[in-house]
A and B are shown apart, each in its own frame.
Chain A
Amino acid sequence: DVKVTQSSRYLVKRTGEKVFLECVQDMDHENMFWYRQDPGLGLRLIYFSYDVKMKEKGDIPEGYSVSREKKERFSLILESASTNQTSMYLCASTLGGRSYEQYFGPGTRLTVT
């Protein structure tokens, strides 16, 4: 079974803090993704990575950066957290090639006060 884990289920941070959200997958997947989920807006892609040290912007990258130094780990960074970044953050991975199925982590509910 593919397992995708995220560092925290719940996180509360103050405006202006630097926030790191970590995601680890244990099945040697090529691709990793960060989404945020907000009511009525569905899952929106922030960034994804198709290889170590490679990244591409998704649909809403503003205010975020990412890091993928090892294949199994993909980090989402909020350089200076703002209240409009309060959301549920989901990490996912895919094997790659012609395999498209996304495997999701449990999510991190981030509150910025």
Chain B
Amino acid sequence: ILNVEQSPQSLHVQEGDSTNFTCSFPSSNFYALHWYRWETAKSPEALFVMTLNGDEKKKGRISATLNTKEGYSYLYIKGSQPEDSATYLCAFNSGGYQKVTFGTGTKLQVIP
């Protein structure tokens, strides 16, 4: 079983603060790294899927970077809003397979 680690496990920030979380994954046999947002009572939804070392992706106030050589990815949220409150999951594909391994997630709560 591949090991995908996320930190921190949970986070409380004030509205307007910027924040970031980390996902660590095995650096060998890398294929793709995903970030998902999972809001309470909803399904996880994909934010980004990244495949190339040095990839940076952005969607509104959320962005992500990828370092496949050292095996980590950062997710950044600029100017957090209460609607950003969710669990953020990262997942890792290796070897070209469709099967992914998920981290345990970072639970973000944005306090108004």
Q: A interface vs B, CB < 8 Å?
A: 4, 30-31, 33, 35, 40-45, 48, 50, 56, 58-59, 90, 94, 96, 100-107
Contact = CB atoms under 8 A, between A and B. Distances in A.
Contacts of B34: 100-102
Contacts of A90: 43-44
Interface stretch (B13-21, B54-62, B91-99): B91-99
Contacts of A42: 89, 102-105
Interface string B66-107: 000000000000000000000001010100001111111100
Contacts of A59: 1, 101
15 contacts: A42-B89, A43-B44, A43-B91, A45-B99, A45-B100, A48-B99, A59-B101, A90-B44, A94-B98, A100-B31, A100-B49, A101-B46, A102-B36, A103-B46, A106-B43
Interface of B: 1, 31-32, 34, 36, 42-46, 49, 89, 91, 93, 98-105
Interface of B is mostly: strand
A100 to B, nearest CB: 5
B91 A102 contact: yes
B91 to A, nearest CB: 7
Given A43-B91, A100-B98, A104-B44, 13 more contacts: A30-B98, A33-B99, A42-B89, A42-B102, A44-B102, A58-B99, A59-B1, A90-B43, A90-B44, A100-B32, A100-B49, A102-B36, A102-B91
Contacts of B43: 4, 90, 104-107
Given A59-B1, A100-B49, A106 B100 contact: no
Contacts of B32: 100
Given A45-B99, A58-B99, A94-B98, A102 B46 contact: yes
B73 to A, nearest CB: 14
Which A-B residue pairs are the 9 nearest by beta carbons?
A: A42-B104, A104-B43, A43-B102, A31-B98, A101-B46, A100-B32, A104-B44, A42-B102, A101-B49
